[in-house]
A and B are shown apart, each in its own frame.
Chain A
Amino acid sequence: MSSENSTLPDAGAAGAAAAEGVSRPVLRRLLRDRRFLAGAAVVIFIVLGSALGPLFRDAMTTPDTDTLMSGPSAAHPFGTDELGRDILARVVGGSVVILQVAAVAVGISLVAGTALGLLAGYRGGWVDAVLMRVVDGLMAFPLLVLALTIVAALGPGLRNALIAIAVVLTPRFARVVRAEVLSLRSREWVSAARIVGVPSRAVMLRHLLPHLSGTLLVFAALQLSTAAMAEASLSFLGLGIQPPDSSWGAMVASGVTRLETNWAMAVFPGLALLLTIAAFNLLADALRDALDAHGPEEV
């Protein structure tokens, strides 16, 4: 997103970068990139926090009835919520949800979208035509609106929100992979593999797929922030995670109605969200520049 030159995706460079995956020079470039270091630091911090999450279960759920809705203090650095629960503990505990949903939803859509994209791009013909029309149709929905519609069908809840996010992201992966496969399909090594009788499945999985790794890595990193934002939005609307469980989006929602009595309830989980999503964006930007694989801009 922040790359200075707005050159079009260069299939050659992207392919070459993809072929080498995250190799030594790429890693060196990443480690020199301040965006990567900042993003990685935040993500590591949050992963550690989410690993500590279970330790906070008691603090998260045990009300301290002496201090309801208090502002930040020594005993409760982020203050307490309407039930006297420690907000810091809840923010730390809530990190698990967003990381899990983002990772799992992106993982599912990565696999499903890659499979569909490979099939459409490699097979061509009516398979391609049908799949791509479906992709066009699904991508015509604004992201959150499609996710809402799916949740409307399946019913509210974190698992359904996760399914909705995965479904929403799948066509994006399919489209990117298909475009990449189309540019690779006419290469000599693909024809060579076909001529010597390598079955289609093997051409797709063993010959084409490895060349997609760079593009997929960058694109998946970009979608992490989209998935995290979607989970937060659905939970904020009350359609994602359901009480008594909570995630940052849901915490902001309950804080918003109580801004006048305790601003800390909305502000701290919101800051955690902002930091996480910014970190995902920075990582994706740095990865893209390091691999020189210019994925499509955020849709």
Chain B
Amino acid sequence: MTTYVLRRLVQLVPVLAVVAVALFVLLRVLPGDPTTAILGLEATDEQRAALRADLGLDQPLWNQFATWVGGVVRGDLGESWITAEPVGGVIADRLPATVQLMVFSLVLAVVIGIPAGVVAAVRQRSGTDSVLTGLSVFGLAIPNFFLAALLVLVFAVWWGVLPASGYVAIGDDLVGNLTRMVLPSVTVGSTVVAVAMRQTRGSLLAALGEDYVRTARATGLSRRRTVVVYALRNALVPVVTVVALQVGVLMSATVTTETIFALPGMGTLVVNAIFARDLPLVQGAVLVIVVFVLLVNLVADLIYAWLDPRIVY
């Protein structure tokens, strides 16, 4: 197992290298002269030259790349062009809201998606199954920002039971935090709940067709016990990976969701930084997001290998 973990970590190196080059080319080479974004159109040529020297933009591209990567490796993501704050610090402030959204969405997937999938599989081709499957089609097709709009309309505007937007840190006011995170979590979670449901239904149906299930039933075990103890345990193995692999999809969903609910997370950070043309901030935030997603995917693979002893690694 240790060698497997090490090998998987080594495999991440070329991926991270491509990610770093892609980010550098996209955000430092393509956009042209950033001094206009920082100084505006009024600045003189001398001011621009001084700023370029200050930001290290007068260096050859290779040097700039090496400086950036060297900093990243030491945990230094550089400084914001607009506020001159360290990018790492800004990101650290923004991570809690996004991580909380993701954790809550995954909890929803486990608490709602998996049981719904079990019910749909056990009652295959029933009315319940059709309704649940229909809902999953809906969950996969609805844009997150539209679901958010509907939830705000119903729960905040019409019924007035939940706040429409805003954020309180979980440490400052637990109840305030939770009431504000309900609608965003449902919004982000809708897709992953639908995916968990479909996957659970599919793999439980496959498991229920296996010989060992028939044997279990033949020995006189109750249907409930057969499903829960025998079939479900095996059926859940692929569900774990498929759900964990949704973390990239969740990240995409948080971008629009945070915007609509005015949450100070990574998504709003990236979007606002793009509007402000604060490219080091975009670069750092996107890098952190990608590394986060890669690590979660890696953990998912490890859990899968650990859960299913047949997997040779």
A→B interface (CB under 8 Å): 1-6, 133-134, 136-138, 140-145, 148-154, 156, 225, 229, 232-233, 236-239, 249, 252-253, 255-256, 259-260, 263, 266-267, 270-271, 273-274, 277-278, 281-282, 297-299
Contact = CB atoms under 8 A, between A and B. Distances in A.
A5 B293 CA distance: 29
Given A142-B289, A149-B286, A270 B271 contact: no
The size class of the interface chain B forms with chain A is 35 or more
B22 A297 contact: no
Contacts of B27: 149, 152-153
Chief secondary structure at chain A's binding surface: helix
B30 A153 contact: yes
Contact of B270 (A148, A249, A298): A148
Given A1-B140, A266-B146, 12 more contacts: A1-B198, A5-B206, A136-B14, A136-B18, A148-B282, A149-B26, A152-B273, A236-B143, A252-B149, A260-B157, A270-B150, A278-B137
B251 interface: yes
Contacts of A273: 143, 146
Contacts of B251: 142, 144-145
B149 A255 contact: yes
10 contacts: A141-B19, A141-B289, A142-B252, A145-B270, A148-B286, A153-B27, A233-B143, A233-B255, A255-B149, A266-B146
Given A5-B206, A145-B251, A274-B141, A140 B294 contact: yes
Nearest to A263: B153
B98 to A, nearest CB: 12
Contacts of B137: 2, 278, 281-282
A160 B247 CA distance: 26
A6 B17 contact: no
B28 to A, nearest CB: 9
Interface string B246-276: 0011011001100110000000001101110
Contacts of B203: 6
Interface of B: 14-19, 21-23, 26-27, 30-31, 133, 137-138, 140-146, 148-150, 152-153, 157, 164, 195, 198, 202-203, 205-206, 238, 242, 245, 248-249, 251-252, 255-256, 259-260, 270-271, 273-275, 279, 282, 286, 289-290, 293-294
Candidate in A145, A238, A274, A297 with the most chain B CB atoms within 10 angstroms? A145
Contacts, number: 167
Contacts of B260: 256
A179 B26 CA distance: 28
Nearest to B251: A142
B220 to A, nearest CB: 28
Contact of A2 (B142, B157, B198): B198
Nearest to B27: A153
Nearest to B152: A259
Contacts of A270: 143, 146, 149-150
Nearest to B253: A144
A274 B153 contact: no
Candidate in B15, B149, B153, B293 with the most chain A CB atoms within 10 angstroms? B149
A151 B274 contact: yes
B293 A142 contact: yes
Nearest to A237: B271
Contacts of A239: 271, 274
A137 B153 contact: no
A205 to B, nearest CB: 28
Contacts of A249: 143, 145
Nearest to A279: B141
Nearest to A255: B149
A281 B282 CA distance: 32
A137 B143 contact: no
B146 A274 contact: yes
A266 B31 contact: no
Contacts of A1: 140, 198
B26 A281 contact: no
A142 B249 contact: yes
B80 to A, nearest CB: 14
B155 to A, nearest CB: 11
A233 B242 contact: no
Contacts of A150: 26
Candidate in B205, B248, B271, B293 with the most chain A CB atoms within 10 angstroms? B248
A133 B11 CA distance: 10
Nearest to B250: A142
A149 B202 contact: no
Contacts of A225: 141
Given A137-B14, A137-B15, A143-B248, A4 B205 contact: yes
Nearest to B195: A298
B255 A145 contact: yes
B198 A236 contact: no
Nearest to B18: A137
A145 B253 CA distance: 10
Contacts of B252: 142-145, 233
A145 B252 CA distance: 6
Candidate in B23, B138, B145, B249 with the most chain A CB atoms within 10 angstroms? B145
A141 B287 CA distance: 9
Candidate in A3, A133, A141, A156 with the most chain B CB atoms within 10 angstroms? A141
Nearest to B156: A259
Contacts of B143: 229, 232-233, 236, 249, 252, 270, 273-274, 277
A1 B202 CA distance: 10
A142 B256 CA distance: 13
